[in-house]
Amino acid sequence: MGRPAMESSSEEELEDDFPGHEWITPQSSIRAAYQSQTEKGIRKTCSELLELKDAIENLCGNMQSKYHAFLRISEEVVEAEQELIELQKHVSAQGMLVQDLMSGVCRELEMWQKYSKEEHAVEKDFQSELNEILSVDTQDPKVIFLDEIDILLAEHKLEKALLALETEEKKYMVTDDSGKELDAEISAYKTALLKRKSILEDQLVRYSEQPSLSITELRKSLSGLLRIGKGPVAHQVLLKTYGSRLHRDVEAFLPTCSVYTETYSATLSQLVFSAISKVLKESSTLFGDNPTNMNRIIQWSEYEIEAFAHLVKEKSPLPESVSAIRSACICIQTTLAHCSCLESHGLKFSKLLMLLLRPHIEEVLELNFRRVRREIIDSARTDDILLLAPQEGSPPSDSVAPKMMLTNSGKKFMSVINDLLDHVTPMTIVHFGGTILSNFLQLFDRYVETLIKVLPGPSEDDNVVESKEPVELKAESDAQQLALIGTAYTIADELLPAAVSKFFYMQTKKKETSGTSEGLGPGSIYSTEYKEWKRHLQHSLDKLRDHFCRQYVLSFIYLEGKSRLDARMYLEGGDDLFWDSDPLPSLPFQALFGRLQQLASVAGDVLLGKEKIQKVLLSRLTETVVMWLSNEQEFWDVFEDESIQLQPSGLQQLILDMHFLVEIAVCGRYPHRPVQQLVSVIITRAIAAFSAREVDPQSALPEDEWFLETAKTAINKLMLGTSGSESDLEAPIAPHDDRISEDSDSISCLSSIGSEDSFASANNDDLENPVYFTDPDS
């Protein structure tokens, strides 16, 4: 019976009767799945999560800016308090000056009145009196000292002026024990000294800000400000001076960034954090451990780090280039190393630095992986499989077989992976290891999807690879298809895990030392577990394996739109098989055995040394045939047609064919329990169908041991070539879907077939613990 004839009704009945064994997915189910509203809901949820992420990032940014504003306000409050204290001193000095002036005027008036009453007193000569006054003034030590200070300040002899002022202040800038104010003369002298101290302060500040000033001279200048009681001013000058020097160094280096595209960020990092370290050291030496000064240093350092992050983004090479990812990794490594050194001194800038640099690093990683993804897809869909293409009709030679485990596309895949890993630094792994590993999984997914397009037949999801990516070559021969599968298996099972082993080693090491992922971000190495990562790789391999098995089995079953496994072959009248001297399986199953034997021979050459993958593929192929029989409603409709007479020999032949499939798996030395379970279901269903048509199973069927022995004997005869089989004919394939996990148990064939004759050779050790694409624990 033709398959298209009853497609619609068969699909509906298949969905109702056997919802748990979806191997050949009806077209109606596919349309319903794609018309589901689940995708819209997922997209809406993803959109809301992205909005929530943006809101959280904005909130963090606002908190950071408010924290900076709070620090600035605190600093301004401290400075305002200092200014108020100095203003109070100035007002007090001015008040004393006014009081002294009033006292002097009163004394002058009293003296004038006294002299006016003494008319007969002898008057001194005016010129003599003036000379006497001048002589007294010139001999006043205070006036002489002020003149000397003015001369020193005019000549910018700051050190001498400072020493003189310090000495003079010790003599006169005191109060008596009773706390009374000093007399008018001392008050005026104090005011004069304060004025000259202010002049000295201005000169010290201007001197400190000179670009050519050496570090030693700068320290002397700042010490001078401290000695005259201007500590806050001195610290501000320190920060300003080092900031100016840093900006000059950065401006001088910027023109060379286009030359040193990979290491420019490391040089900028060295300049910035070296300046911060020097400021911290100088501040500690000159000013000691002062919380206010430390706050100023933190505020100044954060400003310089923000400027540094801006320069890193501005001077970065093209984000999708290899130089960009190399530069980004070097930047993370060097800057975090510098931050680690500063943490021992109480300065923690790692979180701020990652907050500023993370968007840039993630952009570079994303664009580089997009570029690599395009290269891998182009390589896979244009792969000429030169290493895999033997001459038609002849197996590959022994000299070529060892080279066939990686096709050109597989070599390209590992080449780009290793090229990326060569640029990744340890700190990049710690902070972005999870993101990089996730991108590797996406790369492998796209690689597998492209291989599915290269294999004959439609993919499980025709939208997996966009139509804009045409496949130029198809893997038509069994050798080519097996080589592609072997390449994907080798990458996922051996090469890729080995390439990223340092990621998980570092993850384990970090957990043993620190044990926490606090402050590392969502894309850190802590975000990915090896078991889950490896399971994702295996899931991608399962997709490739299942597609190969579907198209291979369906190409065998369907010939010019008709099924070779037609149930009508069990309706032909015949003798009881129990009395037949040479009972054999049906011709289609004999042909299937020959087809699997041929494939096993090719796999033994192409997948040389990969016995495990050979067993997995052949086991899955046998299981796929049984799944098709179980789910193909057209097959079972024949037995339910009341117009057709069923014979006991038909039931015997069907059960013998099923036992024959089990023996194929057993003698092939690959896991047979899934096949055995499915065969049991088919036998039970067949017995029920024949019983409903008045065929007594008790009288018609021999013992189970007879079927087992007959199937083993048939295997031996077919292996020895005593029975012919149908030729293998290719036909268009149809997409189906299944999800059967292989059982881990396997037993050796009980017949006399040697390992050299089996179509999936394997060591006894492999039989005890077989390895499959799918993790048995999942």
Average pLDDT over residues 339-359: 90
- As a whole number, the mean pLDDT across the chain is 77
Q: Quote the pLDDT of residue 761.
A: 34
672 contacts 746 by C-beta, under 8 angstroms = yes
Nearest to 553 by CA among 632, 640, 644: 632
d(CA 774, CA 493): 11
Q: Quote the pLDDT of residue 577.
A: 65
Q: Are strands 562-563 and 558-559 parallel, antiparallel or unpaired?
A: antiparallel
Q: Quote the pLDDT of residue 743.
A: 34
Percent of the chain whose predicted confidence (pLDDT) is above 90: 23
- Per-residue pLDDT at 646 exceeds 80: yes
d(CA 152, CA 251): 38
pLDDT single digits (tens) 594-634: 999 899 889 888 888 888 888 889 989 999 999 999 998 98
Q: Quote the pLDDT of residue 299.
A: 93
H or E element, residue 559: strand 558-559
767, amino acid identity: L
Q: Which residue has the tokens 């070779």?
A: 564
Average pLDDT over residues 50-61: 88
Q: Quote the pLDDT of residue 693.
A: 81
Q: Quote the pLDDT of residue 362.
A: 92
The confidence band for 383, taking pLDDT boundaries of 50, 70 and 90, is low
427 contacts 333 by C-beta, under 8 angstroms = yes
Q: Quote the pLDDT of residue 125.
A: 47
Distances (CA, A) of 36 to 21, 30, 464, 698: 21, 10, 18, 49
Instruction: Choose the weakest-confidence range: 55-59, 62-66, 301-305, 717-721.
Output: 717-721
Average pLDDT over residues 326-331: 92
Average pLDDT over residues 385-414: 54
Nearest to 280 by CA among 360, 341, 370: 341
- Per-residue pLDDT at 467 exceeds 50: no
H or E element, residue 713: helix 704-720
Q: Quote the pLDDT of residue 120.
A: 46
Most confident listed range (50-59, 190-199, 738-747): 50-59
Higher pLDDT, 629 or 737: 629
Q: Quote the pLDDT of residue 405.
A: 59
Average pLDDT over residues 381-394: 48
pLDDT single digits (tens) 157-180: 777 777 777 777 777 655 444 444
Tell me, letter by letter, the H, E, C secondary structure of 355-370.
Answer: HHHHHHHHHHHHHHHH
Tokens of 644: 């057709």
Q: Quote the pLDDT of residue 131.
A: 52
Higher pLDDT, 258 or 136: 258
Q: How many CB atoms lie within 10 A of CB 275?
A: 20
245 contacts 239 by C-beta, under 8 angstroms = no
pLDDT single digits (tens) 204-222: 888 888 888 888 888 888 8
d(CA 618, CA 717): 21
Q: Quote the pLDDT of residue 497.
A: 92
333 contacts 425 by C-beta, under 8 angstroms = yes
622 contacts 664 by C-beta, under 8 angstroms = yes
The confidence band for 747, taking pLDDT boundaries of 50, 70 and 90, is very low
- Per-residue pLDDT at 238 exceeds 50: yes
Average pLDDT over residues 73-90: 88
415 contacts 393 by C-beta, under 8 angstroms = no
d(CA 602, CA 596): 10
Q: Which residue has the tokens 């399986």?
A: 585
Q: Which residue has the tokens 């485990």?
A: 405
Q: What is the pTM of this model?
A: 0.66
In DSSP terms, which residues pair with 562 in a beta bridge? 2, 559
Average pLDDT over residues 628-643: 88
Average pLDDT over residues 490-502: 90
Nearest to 461 by CA among 14, 33, 42: 33
Higher pLDDT, 581 or 182: 581
d(CA 665, CA 670): 6
pLDDT single digits (tens) 289-317: 888 989 999 999 999 999 999 999 999 88
323 contacts 317 by C-beta, under 8 angstroms = yes
Residue 158 makes CB contacts below 8 A (sequence gap 6+) with 152, 200, 203, 204, 207, 221, 224
Q: Quote the pLDDT of residue 519.
A: 58
Average pLDDT over residues 572-593: 76
H-helix segments, 254-343: 264-287, 291-314, 322-343
Range list of β-strands (E), 560-615: 562-563
pLDDT single digits (tens) 657-681: 999 999 988 887 877 888 889 999 9
pLDDT single digits (tens) 536-551: 999 999 999 999 999 9
Q: Which residue has the tokens 């149809």?
A: 734
pLDDT single digits (tens) 411-449: 889 999 999 899 888 888 888 988 999 999 999 999 999
- Per-residue pLDDT at 122 exceeds 80: no
523 contacts 441 by C-beta, under 8 angstroms = no
DSSP 72-85: HHHHHHHHHHHHHH
489, amino acid identity: Y
d(CA 167, CA 160): 11
Q: Quote the pLDDT of residue 410.
A: 86
Phi, psi values for residue 653, rounded to 5°:
-65, -40
Q: Quote the pLDDT of residue 547.
A: 93
d(CA 592, CA 553): 9
CA 528 to chain centroid = 9
Instruction: For helices 611-631 and 530-557, give the axis angle rounded to 10 degrees.
Output: 60
d(CA 130, CA 21): 127
Higher pLDDT, 727 or 329: 329
In DSSP terms, which residues pair with 219 in a beta bridge? none
H or E element, residue 227: helix 215-227
620 contacts 546 by C-beta, under 8 angstroms = yes
570 secondary structure, DSSP code: G
- Per-residue pLDDT at 585 exceeds 70: yes
The confidence band for 32, taking pLDDT boundaries of 50, 70 and 90, is low
- Per-residue pLDDT at 688 exceeds 80: yes
The three-state secondary structure class of 19 is coil
H or E element, residue 558: strand 558-559
